[in-house]
Each structure stands twice: as structure tokens, then as C-alpha cells.
Amino acid sequence: MIIGIGMSDPFLVGVITLFLLLGLILIGVRVVFAAAIVGLLGLVELRGWGPAAGIVGTIPHAKSSTYALSVLPMFIFIGFLAFHAGMTQQLFDAARKWLGWMPGGLAVATVFATAGFAAVSGASTATAAVFSRVAIPEMLKYGYDRRMAAGVVASAGTLATLIPPSAILVIYAIIVEQSVGKLLLAGFLPGIFSAVVYAGIIVVWAMAKPGSAPSVTGFTWGERMRTLPGISPIILVVIIIMTSIYGGWATPTEAGALGAFVVFVLALIRGTPVKSIKNSLMESAKLTVMIFSLIWGVLVFVRFLGFSGIPGAFTEWIVGLDMAPMTIMICILLGYAVLGMFMDAIGMLLLTLPVVYPAVIALGFDPIWFGIIAVKMAEICLITPPIGLNCFVVNGVRPDIPLGQVFRGVALFFIADVITIAALLMFPEIVTWLPNFDFEAWWSGLWAATS
């Protein structure tokens, strides 16, 4: 096999370039450059300089100007605008009044307020930052355990990537050529499920240690009802995005645009300064270009990978293994957990999916289900040492809570996440039911039954 020292053997070139890519990324070359250089060099080796550079030169424009990707800037913009419009405070206030009576009520309220905020935002660390400022002071005021207060904010931030609109799920859908709408829908139930598991574990913990997470009572129904107008834009955004995907009255991009417009108008009504709106636009542009660079950089590499035959060989090897598919899946997930400790979730998925995804499909797993599981796995790494960015974010906003305490507080939610992953592995329907639900048939059935 290694006869082709002249480097004509695509497989050998593939293996060498994979190692080169790994080396470049390890020494801190930005992923877009590392992937594009390695892809270019590999193509040059197989096709010669002229054709290779010609192919590579067309990829950035060709791959970026696709309609499906245009949903990303809209979703990103919604998230940044929502922060600047101050929606978090109202969400937390509503959740506190509706759920405060439960054991550990303020922590439970934080979980659901974060889940609600996740419905307008797809960024995990940003969500943790905002709620550190909104929810932690309130919890400390009522004598909550500091570890619990910090842990719940850091962990609940991770819900943002599952509950639509989620940028990372859109990217997954495009890389593996699945329906964006289906993936967005698929994240919804697992996101809610994660939130419920978090809430459940808080309630159990609060009942075991009554003093350290008291409930907050004494709100009238009138007070509760009055919180609803404040959170209505978020409900509206959820309705716009979910019904457009189901009913097909708008494409995800159009739904995203309308959602952004709703939040934009609301921001104007609330008197958000023009400077803040400009800032959220500049931040959105920055994040958009970061994601798009990553996408085309990795796609240059993917173009070469296709020629090298590596994904096929890897798939063949995986399928030939004498192990149950579920065992292999768990090994892949553990691999992601380790990788995620050192790398950004989007970068990690983009780099590994071209090789891992075909193998996962060949093993007979559902592509949508795998996307949700992989993203959830990557998110867990945001709360585990050594990087655990969400924990650092909480500690950064509240320097009075030492990092060690944040990580200890998160441990409880790590257990909750393991339960969630196990449940998703055992009951894939949690993921696949909603995207495959035939809404039209159900609706016309309902119609027929009433008339």
C-alpha cells in the first residue's frame, strides 16, 4: 500500500494530511486556515497545482452563497438583539412568580427562564453570562447555597444550543445534508427534557437539604398574569419559528427574519439605544463571518477527503468491528466528550463529522438523532473541567463565587446531563418523534372528527 512514495496513493496522502491537520490545529493555527491549507495541499498532491487551486478558489463563494445558510445570520441577530432589549429580566421575573413555590423554586425558575431565553438565543456562554447577573443575586438574597446558584446558571446556559433557534444545529444540518427544519424541531423536545431533568434534580436536592434552597411563595394569580405581556415576544418568536417549519408558510430564513423583526421592534419600543442595536449588528456580523469561514475552510478539506477515500475506509473499518453498534456509539460519544474539553463545539463537529458521520449512518443510526446527541455531548463540555467556559463566565460575572465552588455546583447538573444522554440513547423517540410528526394529517383528522 505504501508503494506510492511519489504520493499518488490517495489514501496515504489522506492519512498524512490528517496528521498535518491535527498538528496545525494543535499549534494553534486558526481552524479555517489549517483546514483550507491541508485541503489545498492534499488536492495539489492528487490533482496537480492548477486544477487544485482552481477548485479551492471557487469553494468560499460557491459554498457560502446557499439559501439554506442564510438562516444563520438571522438566528444570530435575534439572540444579540434579545440581550440588548433586556428580555432576560422579565423572563426570570415571570418564571419566579410562576414556579417559585416549588422546592428550590428560584433555581427551577432559573432553569425555565433560561430555557425560555434559549428560544430566542442560540449561544450558550452568552446565556450563562446574562443569567449570572439576573438570577444569582436573587438566589443569594433568599439564602441559596452559592454552589447551587452558580451551578444552575452555568449548566442551564447549555440549553440554548438545543432549543431552536440553534446555530449549531443549522450547521450540522448543512454539513450532513439533512433538513434544517427537521433538526431544529428535533432539538426542541430534548431541550425541554434536559430542562425538566435539571428541575427534577434541583427539587430532589432542595428537599434533601431544606435550608439551602428555599421556595418563594406569596404571589397572587394576578401578579402572575401580569408577567405574561413582558414575555409575549419570546412566545411569539417560538410560534413563528415552529409554525413556519411545520406549516411551511415561510422558509426558516424568512421565519428568522420575522422573528428578528419582532425583537427589533420591541427593542425600539423599549427605548434600546441605537448604539446597542448597532453593537448587536456588529457582533452578529462578527459571529456570522466566524462561522462561515469555518464552514468554507472545512469544506475545502472535505472536498479533498472525498478524493482520498478516507471516510469510506473508516466506515468500512467501523462496520467491520465485532461490536454492538451501541457500544461503538458510546465510544464515539466519549471521544467527543474528550475532544470537547479542548475545542469549541462548532469547530469540533465540523472537523470530525465528514469522517465520523458516514460511519454512524452505516451503523444504522438516525442522522437527526445523532446530530442532537453529538451537540448535547459537546455542550456538556462547556461545564466540565478543564475548559468549562460557562463556569468561567459565571465566575467572571461574580468574582465573589470562586471557580472551585462553581465547578462543584455544576457536578449535580453533570449527573442530570448523564441521565439525559442515557435517556436519549434508550428512547430515541424523544428526538425523532417531533420532526416526524405528521402535523397535517393530525390537523385534518381533528377537523374531520369535529365536523
Partner 1 sequence: MAQDIEAEHSLLARLHRGFMPIEDFANLAAAAAIMLLMVLGVLQIVLRTVFNTPITGYIDLVELSMASMAFLGAAYTQRLGAHIRMELLVGRLSGRALWAIEAVGAALAMFIIAVLIYHSFGHFLRAYTLGDTTIDAEFQTWPSKLLVPIAFTIWWVRLALQFVGALRLAIFPDATPIAVVVAKDVAEQAQDEIHEVMGDDGDLQGPEGTS
CB of 14 closer than 8 Å to CB of 305: yes
Residue among 133 and 224 whose Cβ is closer to partner 1: 133
**One residue of 65, 217, 220, 450 binding partner 1 per CB under 8 A:** 65
CB of 382 closer than 8 Å to CB of 389: yes
Residue among 64 and 432 whose Cβ is closer to partner 1: 64
User: Is residue 378 close enough to count as binding partner 1 by CB under 8 A?
Assistant: no
Residues whose CB falls within 8 Å of the CB of residue 42, separated by 6 or more in sequence, listed in order: 13, 14, 17, 301, 304, 305, 307, 308
Residue among 256 and 367 whose Cβ is closer to partner 1: 256
User: Is residue 396 close enough to count as binding partner 1 by CB under 8 A?
Assistant: yes
| Set of cell numbers at residue 347 | 469547530
Residue among 211 and 386 whose Cβ is closer to partner 1: 386
Residue among 26 and 446 whose Cβ is closer to partner 1: 26
Compute the least distance from the CB of residue 76 to partner 1, in Å: 8
User: Is residue 10 close enough to count as binding partner 1 by CB under 8 A?
Assistant: no
**Rounded distance between C-alpha atoms, residue 102 and residue 96, angstroms:** 10
**One residue of 12, 20, 125, 362 binding partner 1 per CB under 8 A:** 125
| Set of cell numbers at residue 214 | 428555599
Residue among 346 and 356 whose Cβ is closer to partner 1: 346
**Rounded distance between C-alpha atoms, residue 41 and residue 53, angstroms:** 9
What residues between 346 and 375 interact with partner 1 by CB under 8 A? 346-347
Which residue from 405, 437, 388, 339 is spatially nearest to 150, judged by alpha carbons? Answer: 405
CB of 184 closer than 8 Å to CB of 165: yes
Cα-based angle 358, 74, 336 (whole degrees, multiple of 5)? 30
Q: Which stretch binds partner 1 (CB under 8 A): 29-37, 106-114, 169-177, 354-362?
A: 29-37
Compute the least distance from the CB of residue 310 to partner 1, in Å: 21
User: Is residue 117 close enough to count as binding partner 1 by CB under 8 A?
Assistant: no
For 17, how many CA atoms within 13 A lie in the half-sphere containing its CB?
31
User: Is residue 301 close enough to count as binding partner 1 by CB under 8 A?
Assistant: no
Which residue from 340, 325, 423, 419 is spatially nearest to 385, judged by alpha carbons? Answer: 340
**Binding string to partner 1 for residues 280 to 299, with x set by CB under 8 A, is what?**
-xxxxxxxxxx-xxx-x---
The single-letter code of the amino acid at 24 is L
Compute the least distance from the CB of residue 60 to partner 1, in Å: 6
User: Is residue 228 close enough to count as binding partner 1 by CB under 8 A?
Assistant: no
**Rounded distance between C-alpha atoms, residue 373 and residue 195, angstroms:** 15
Q: Which stretch binds partner 1 (CB under 8 A): 48-56, 169-177, 216-224, 432-440?
A: 48-56
User: Is residue 56 close enough to count as binding partner 1 by CB under 8 A?
Assistant: yes
